[in-house]
């Protein structure tokens, strides 16, 4: 009769596995003991207190991770993750780990951080250096970059803004003269070209603006094409057509700038503009800027704001075209603030255009031009009870923060009047961050407001806008700046004494 005791049964099974020999049985017993010891050590290690990392969203796809899902609909992806995992979570794309900080409290980590802890150059230099050039922006140590930003900020002052308003108004009238009495046009294409013209006139000076032919405008477009997902993900030396166009455009534009700088240095004509501000500037150690640095900073000043301002201006136009009641209020405000005869604009009037100002703020809330702001973690960070290790790309999404249910009432509605009263997000420091915040705030914010408000003040005086067959553009998520898809708008020139648009169509 077979025995069924534990040792017998165990011996029988072991014997079947090892073939019954004593050495084989002893070897198997040793392997079993070592395996058991390893598992016990792992269990004890897991039970010991250690770093609590952010929840990681699993993907079965190696390397690519969530790149496809995120690229297809990033806002939906992030909002779903926020609902499931909370304000801090991580996921993988193209071999990199991204940790998002959503909501005002979590975002404070990035906006209050020092560059040596959450580093900007590690993320952005591969994009900006081929476009702006070496020796400026994210191609230099942060203390040098901060000095360069301070020089630029010196030139972005109210005295210059007062000079800019009539220049922008003149450029806008001249550009839109070709639109005629009525029609249907791509608003984004128009504003992209106009922003280049106005920004160059205001920021580069008349020498450079005078050379802005159609050929040079194409160079700017090719250079701007360097801000792409491909440039961010792939090595810059790859012989891609867009990379070659970018590099050719960089050399050609630099040459134009060098010639303008040389003429300005030779003539010594006293001109109060940003070009002269940079030519007169010097670092703390007394070293003046080189021509290459001046040219690079002028390129950066223009292109860093060109795409964002043209995108924001376009979305503002479509919100006004859809809400014709608000459009009419903006037009009536022009007459109330500036006079019934609508004389030329001046800077002091812009601050009193409060309806237009609220419309611009609401546009920046619903369609902030930068969907994600990023830094590379160089040191261990803690937030919301989680530990973020070095190597993670730490991100804040203004787009998501601007529409969180926890912060905003009627969060998806275009409602400029929400800024007339106390909003739930008013007490949240980083709930509204279209231009960044803290030490990372964009130095071009005030110029952007002057530029966009002047352009749209001029356009509202010229035309009445409406949607084309009720179409409001969807968002193009394939570009780094989230532009509108098929942004064609219908327009009609205003008649003398016209009271503006009516109610909603």
Average pLDDT over residues 258-276: 86
Q: Quick one: pLDDT band at residue 38, thresholds 50, 70, 90?
A: very low
What structural domains and CATH numbers belong to the chain? 66-493 (1.10.630.10)
Give 188's Cβ-side CA count (13 Å radius).
17
Q: Is 100's pLDDT higher than 80?
A: yes
CA distance 313 to 369: 10
Q: Is 51's pLDDT higher than 70?
A: yes
Q: Quick one: pLDDT band at residue 406, thresholds 50, 70, 90?
A: confident
Q: List all residues 6 or more positions away from 239 whose beta carbon is below 8 Å from its beta carbon.
A: none
Q: What percent of the chain has pLDDT over 70?
A: 87
| Tokens linked to 85 | 């995992």
pLDDT of residue 221: 82
Q: Quick one: pLDDT band at residue 437, thresholds 50, 70, 90?
A: confident
317-345 confidence digits (pLDDT tens): 999 999 999 999 999 999 999 999 999 99
Q: Quick one: pLDDT band at residue 423, thresholds 50, 70, 90?
A: low
pLDDT of residue 48: 52
Q: Is 5's pLDDT higher than 60?
A: no
Q: Is 503's pLDDT higher than 60?
A: no
- 229, 480 Cβ separation under 8 angstroms: yes
CA distance 81 to 88: 9
Q: Quick one: pLDDT band at residue 236, thresholds 50, 70, 90?
A: confident
CA distance 300 to 224: 10
pLDDT of residue 17: 33
pLDDT of residue 233: 74
Q: 């020089």: which residue's tokens? A: 151
Rg (CA), the chain: 29
* Lowest-pLDDT choice from 115-129, 144-158, 198-212, 367-381: 198-212
> Higher confidence at residue 355 or residue 409?
355
Average pLDDT, rounded, for the chain: 86
444-486 confidence digits (pLDDT tens): 899 999 999 999 999 999 999 999 999 999 999 887 788 999 9
CA distance 488 to 468: 7
Q: Is 8's pLDDT higher than 50?
A: no
State yes or no: 442 annotated in a binding site.
Answer: yes
Nearest of 466, 458, 416, 382 to residue 106 by alpha carbon: 382
pLDDT of residue 481: 84
Q: Quick one: pLDDT band at residue 404, thresholds 50, 70, 90?
A: very high
- 165, 260 Cβ separation under 8 angstroms: no
| Angle of the 241-267 helix axis to the 121-132 helix axis, nearest 10 | 70
pLDDT of residue 40: 53
Nearest of 62, 106, 135 to residue 373 by alpha carbon: 106
pLDDT of residue 32: 52
54-91 confidence digits (pLDDT tens): 999 999 999 999 999 998 899 999 999 999 999 999 99
Q: Quick one: pLDDT band at residue 305, thresholds 50, 70, 90?
A: confident
Is residue 215 classed exposed, middle or buried when 0-12, 13-18 and 19+ CB atoms within 10 A define those classes?
exposed
């Amino acid at each position: 009769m077979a025995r069924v005791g534990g040792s017998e049964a165990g011996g029988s099974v072991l014997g079947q596995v090892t073939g019954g020999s004593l050495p084989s049985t002893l070897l198997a017993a040793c392997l079993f003991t070592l395996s058991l010891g390893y598992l016990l050590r792992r269990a004890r290690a897991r039970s010991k207190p250690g770093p609590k990392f952010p929840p990681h969203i699993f993907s079965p796809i190696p390397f690519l991770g969530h790149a496809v899902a995120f690229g297809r609909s990033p806002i939906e992806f992030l909002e779903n993750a926020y609902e499931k995992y909370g304000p801090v979570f991580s996921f993988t794309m193209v071999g990199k780990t991204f940790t998002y900080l959503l909501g005002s409290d979590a975002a404070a980590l990035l906006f209050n951080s020092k560059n040596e802890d959450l580093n900007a150059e590690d993320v952005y230099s591969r994009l900006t250096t081929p476009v702006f050039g070496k020796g400026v922006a994210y191609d230099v140590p942060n203390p040098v970059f901060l000095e360069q930003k301070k020089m630029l900020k010196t030139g972005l002052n109210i005295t210059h803004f007062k000079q800019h308003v009539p220049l922008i108004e003149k450029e806008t009238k001249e550009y839109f003269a070709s639109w005629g009495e009525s029609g249907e046009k791509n608003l984004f294409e128009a504003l992209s070209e106009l922003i280049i013209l106005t920004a160059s006139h205001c920021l580069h000076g008349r020498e450079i603006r005078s050379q802005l032919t159609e050929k040079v405008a194409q160079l700017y477009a090719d250079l701007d094409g360097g801000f792409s997902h491909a440039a961010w993900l792939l090595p810059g030396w790859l012989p891609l057509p867009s990379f070659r166009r970018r590099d050719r455009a960089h050399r050609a534009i630099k040459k134009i700038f060098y010639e303008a700088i040389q003429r300005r240095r030779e003539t010594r004509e006293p001109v109060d503009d940003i070009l002269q501000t940079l030519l007169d500037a010097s670092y703390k150690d007394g070293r003046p800027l080189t021509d290459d640095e001046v040219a690079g900073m002028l390129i950066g000043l223009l292109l860093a704001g060109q795409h964002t301002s043209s995108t924001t201006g376009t979305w503002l136009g479509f919100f006004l075209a859809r809400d014709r009641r608000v459009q009419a209020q903006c037009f009536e405000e022009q007459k109330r603030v500036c006079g019934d005869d609508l004389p030329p604009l001046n800077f002091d009037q812009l601050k009193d255009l409060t309806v237009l100002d609220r419309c611009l703020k609401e546009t920046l809330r619903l369609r902030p031009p930068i969907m994600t702001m990023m830094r590379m973690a160089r040191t261990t960070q803690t937030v919301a009870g989680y530990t973020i290790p070095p190597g993670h790309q730490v991100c804040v999404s203004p787009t998501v923060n601007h529409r969180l249910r926890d912060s905003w009432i009627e969060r998806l509605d275009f409602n400029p009047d929400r800024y007339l009263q106390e909003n739930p997000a008013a007490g949240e420091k980083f709930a509204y961050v279209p231009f960044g915040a803290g030490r990372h705030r964009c130095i071009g914010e005030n110029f952007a407001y002057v530029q966009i408000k002047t352009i749209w003040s001029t356009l509202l005086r010229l035309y009445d806008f409406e949607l084309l067959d009720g179409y409001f553009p969807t968002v193009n998520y394939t570009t780094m700046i989230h532009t509108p898809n098929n942004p064609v708008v219908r327009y009609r020139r205003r008649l003398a004494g016209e009271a503006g648009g009516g109610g909603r169509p």
